[in-house]
């Protein structure tokens, strides 16, 4: 057994070679607190080698360490399900198939989406009580251990914001207000998580990621960055359109070259 032959430092290196971690989709039932994983050791739905998780094959100590390693190196993606924040709270409890271990004590990578429906009341009514409600739901992020890297995906907002700027020449009513509402929620939360020792990353689109290591965490700083990113995105997309239009024009000019007769007179088509 590994625990009898190698020190823990070397065993961890072996575990990293055996299983470098994976993205685990957390499936949440929106009508209850139940949740499931699309892949998990000892659950019958694991993408790796099943015999590694056999206690008779590796021994109880090695099995426990392997499961700890799987928690630490995997990214747990809670997606956009309505029950995702409740599901996070359940991570503080023991899971039957994971050898009596508490997931939140080991998980170090978490991803979650914030969608338009989460902020409807805040956007339409600017209701401070709704802001308090949203923040109370997101308190579930604190169930994970300090040093956990938390990625909050806001891509839907930024993609539509940039698309509106390109397609309509201006942002339609409410679009910018949505972004401001998002940031009103995220900035205080990011400050608290950062102060507690968590690493925060907020994704607003394919070019845009705000990180707690970038410097100032404030509404002013984040909005300024988003505006810079938006201008870059618009320039990239409109530049491609201009180049494509020029290429199409050149193709139409050269597609049907004039046909000359032997006498040098242009033939009529």
Does 87 score more than 60 pLDDT? Answer: yes
Reported confidence tier of residue 258, pLDDT bands at 50, 70, 90? very low
Higher pLDDT, 227 or 246: 227
User: Per residue in 134-164, pLDDT tens?
Assistant: 777 888 999 999 999 999 887 555 555 555 4
Reported confidence tier of residue 126, pLDDT bands at 50, 70, 90? low
32-58 burial, b if ≥16 CB within 10 A, otherwise e?
Answer: eeebebeebbbeeebeeeeebbeeeeb
Greatest mean pLDDT among 37-41, 49-53, 67-71 lies in: 67-71
User: Per residue in 242-251, pLDDT tens?
Assistant: 555 555 555 4
Give the least confident one: 80-89, 139-148, 210-219: 210-219
Are the CB atoms for 98 and 55 separated by under 8 Å?
A: no
Distance CA 80, CA 32 (A): 15
Q: What is the pLDDT of residue 205?
A: 62
Rounded to 5 degrees, φ, ψ at 213 are -95, 0
């Amino acid at each position: 057994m590994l625990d009898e032959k190698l020190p823990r430092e070397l065993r961890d290196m072996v575990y990293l070679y055996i299983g470098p971690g994976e993205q685990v989709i957390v499936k949440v039932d929106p009508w209850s607190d139940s949740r499931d994983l699309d892949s998990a050791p000892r659950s019958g739905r694991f993408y790796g080698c099943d015999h590694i998780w056999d206690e008779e094959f590796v021994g109880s100590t090695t099995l426990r360490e392997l499961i700890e390693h799987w928690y630490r190196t995997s990214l747990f993606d809670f997606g956009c399900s309505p029950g995702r924040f409740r599901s996070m709270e359940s991570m503080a409890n023991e899971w039957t198939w994971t050898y009596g271990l508490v997931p939140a004590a080991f998980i170090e990578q978490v991803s979650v989406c914030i969608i338009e429906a989460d902020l409807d009341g805040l956007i339409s009514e600017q209701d401070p009580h709704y802001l308090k409600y949203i923040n109370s739901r997101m308190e579930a992020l604190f169930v994970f251990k300090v040093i956990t890297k938390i990625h909050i995906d806001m891509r839907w907002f930024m993609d539509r914001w940039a698309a509106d700027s390109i397609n309509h020449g201006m942002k339609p009513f409410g679009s910018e207000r949505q972004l401001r509402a998002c940031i009103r929620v995220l900035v205080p939360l990011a400050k608290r998580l950062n102060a507690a020792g968590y690493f925060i990353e907020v994704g607003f689109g394919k070019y845009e990621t705000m990180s707690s290591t970038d410097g100032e965490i404030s509404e002013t700083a984040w909005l300024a960055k988003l505006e810079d990113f938006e201008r870059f995105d618009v320039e990239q997309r409109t530049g491609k359109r201009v180049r494509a239009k020029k290429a199409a024009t050149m193709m139409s000019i050269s597609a049907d070259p004039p046909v000359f007769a032997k006498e040098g007179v242009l033939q009529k088509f």
